[in-house]
Amino acid sequence: MSCTSTPAPSRRWFTMGTGDGFDRRIGERCDVEGLEVAWITRHPGDAGGLLRRRAAHLVEQSARIVDVSITGAAVVAPASTHLHRGATALIRVDGREAVVRIERCTPTLRPKVMRYGVQFCSIDAELRERLTRLVDEGRRTRIAHDATF
């Protein structure tokens, strides 16, 4: 896949609603070999007193997608007290972006690392195609593996 640049992320993804809480993940999940992504989250400002007030800011960190389906993914990323069920984040892969809503936050065996179950809210067409190919490859691999037993 070629690496192309896209405009800066839209601010609209910060204000998306939390939904009704129903798990809407459709389709089968496919394990992937730790697809490296940029995990961009919004951290609230710090009131810190009248003269030291800090505005909300974006934090970009390295993360991995460890499983994916047509409607969502599991992302292993640094833990943050600012991330919770219903919060939104941005995933960037090779300049392509997806806005996601966090549905689950599960601790891992590694300290300060969480597994976030996310639902795709908005996704770049090329990134959707790439993730769909991963799901298809995983399906073919599973079918071939099952056929050998």
CA distance 118 to 73: 5
| Digitized pLDDT (tens) for each residue of the chain, 149 residues in all | 222 233 344 433 333 333 344 444 556 677 777 789 999 998 886 666 556 666 778 899 999 999 998 899 999 999 998 899 999 999 999 999 999 999 999 999 999 999 999 999 999 999 999 988 888 887 777 777 677 76
Tell me if 1 is assigned to some domain: no
Tell me if 5 is assigned to some domain: no
- Indicate the SS3 state at residue 139: helix
C-alpha closest to that of 105 among 125, 77, 129? 77
C-alpha closest to that of 24 among 107, 80, 83, 100? 100
Query: 67 and 21 in contact (C-beta within 8 Å)?
Result: no
Structure tokens, 64 = 């991995």
Q: Which amino acid is it at 118?
A: V
Task: Give the domain CATH number at 74.
Answer: 2.40.10.220
Tell me if 34 is assigned to some domain: yes
Tell me if 85 is assigned to some domain: yes
C-alpha closest to that of 70 among 139, 7, 145? 139
Check residue 76 and give its pLDDT: 97
Tell me if 4 is assigned to some domain: no
pTM here is 0.72
Structure tokens, 52 = 């030291």
Check residue 20 and give its pLDDT: 41
Tell me how many domains the chain contains: 1
Tell me if 3 is assigned to some domain: no
Tell me if 2 is assigned to some domain: no
Tell me if 141 is assigned to some domain: yes
Check residue 129 and give its pLDDT: 92
For 98, the domain range is: 11-19+28-147
